[in-house]
Amino acid sequence: MRRMADMATSDWPFMKMHGAGNDFVVIDGRDALVTLTESLVRALADRHRGVGFDQLALITDGSDLTVTFYNADGSQSAACGNATRCIAARELAQRNAERLSIHVTGRGTLSAVRNTDGTAAVNMGHPLLTWQDIPLAQDTDTLSLPIDGNPVGTGMGNPHCTFFVEDVSAIDLATVGPEIEHHALFPERTNVQFAQVISPSHIRMRVWERGTGITLASGSSSCATAVAAVRRGLTGRQVQIDLDGGTLHIDWRDDGVWMSGPTAHVFDGTLTAEFLQSL
C-alpha cells in the first residue's frame, strides 16, 4: 500500500468520468492511504492549472465500496448521483455483477444495478421532505418556500431548491444561482434548479450546484426536481429530465428515487509528483 507521504514523490493515478456532461475526477484509494485537503481539491478542480471537474470522488473500502464526494470549492458534498452512477457502472462491469452496494459517506448505503445497455441505475434513497431534514433554518412549508418564485425544498443528501418556471432558457442562472445558494433559509447552502414542465412525464431543467456553480447536469438535483414535481401534482413518478448536458430518467418508487442515464469513463491519468509538490 502506498502511503500519502509517498504519493508526493510519485505519480498519483486518477480517472476522469462524466454523466450527461456532469464531470468528475475519481481517485481510487482502496490501495493507498489518501488524504485530501480543501486546497488540494481546489487545485485539482482548476480547469486551467489542474484537471477540472464539477465534483471529485474518493473511493475507499467498505461493504462493497465507500465513496466520499467533494465540490470544486473543496467542501464536501453529501451526495453526487451522476458520479455514483459512473462509479457503479465501472464497478459492475469489472466485477461482472448485476447489483452493487455503495456507501456514500453523507447519504448512507445506496443500491446500484446494471442496465441492459451497460449503464447503471442507482437508488438515491428516500427524499427528505421536512424542514429539519433538508435542512432549513426555520420551520416552514417545504412545498412552498418563502422565497420569491415559490420554490420547493427537498433533501437528497444535499439540500435542493426547485423553481418551476415557464422558460428555463430565460433564467440568468449565473446571477440567480449564487443568490439562492447562499440564501439565509439554507444554513448549509443549497443546490438550485429551474425546471420547465413539458408534459406529465417530461421536464427541462438547468442547475446551479452549491460549491461548484453552473453544471451541465446534476443527478441529485434531477431526483429532487422529480420529487418536487410529483408533490406539486405536475408530473407522474416516472419522468424524463433534459439537462444542458444530456437526459436522465427518474423513477420515484416505494423504495427510493431511482436514476438512470448515460455515463462515460473518459480517460485514466496521473497527477505528477511535480504538480503535487507544488501545492
pLDDT in tens, 118-160: 789 999 999 999 999 999 999 999 999 999 999 999 999 999 9
Structural domains of the chain, with CATH? 4-124+263-277 (3.10.310.10), 152-254 (3.10.310.10)
Which pLDDT does position 9 carry in this prediction?
Answer: 52
pTM of the model: 0.93
Query: Which of 88, 122, 81 has its CA nearest to residue 224?
Result: 81
Q: Helix, strand, or coil here: 107?
A: coil
Per the listing, cell 477540472 goes with: 52
Q: List pLDDT tens digits, range 70-86.
A: 999 999 998 899 999 99
Other beta carbons less than 10 A from residue 234's beta carbon: 16
Which pLDDT does position 277 carry in this prediction?
Answer: 82
Contact 263, 23 (CB under 8 A): no
Contact 238, 201 (CB under 8 A): yes
**How many Å apart are CA 222 and CA 117, to the nearest integer?**
21
Which pLDDT does position 6 carry in this prediction?
Answer: 46
Q: Which amino acid is at 278?
A: S
DSSP state of 134: T
Going residue by residue through the chain, which has 279 residues, state the pLDDT in tens, using 9 for 90 and above.
344 444 455 678 999 999 999 999 999 988 877 778 899 999 999 999 999 999 999 998 765 789 999 999 999 998 899 999 999 999 999 999 999 999 998 889 999 999 888 789 999 999 999 999 999 999 999 999 999 999 999 999 999 999 999 999 999 999 999 999 999 999 999 999 999 999 999 999 999 999 999 999 999 999 999 999 999 999 999 999 999 999 999 999 999 999 999 999 999 999 988 888 887
**How many Å apart are CA 251 and CA 245, to the nearest integer?**
20
Which pLDDT does position 10 carry in this prediction?
Answer: 61
Contact 114, 97 (CB under 8 A): yes
Other beta carbons less than 10 A from residue 167's beta carbon: 9
Which pLDDT does position 3 carry in this prediction?
Answer: 41
Which pLDDT does position 62 carry in this prediction?
Answer: 62
Cell of 135: 435542512
Which pLDDT does position 8 carry in this prediction?
Answer: 53
**How many Å apart are CA 69 and CA 85, to the nearest integer?**
13
Exposure b/e, 105-138, CB count within 10 A at least 16 = b: bebeebbbbbeeeebbbbbbbebbbebeebbbee
Which pLDDT does position 164 carry in this prediction?
Answer: 98
**How many Å apart are CA 240 and CA 260, to the nearest integer?**
10
Cell of 154: 427537498
State the sign of the Cα–Cα–Cα–Cα dihedral 42, 44, 50, 51. negative
Which pLDDT does position 30 carry in this prediction?
Answer: 87
Which pLDDT does position 274 carry in this prediction?
Answer: 86
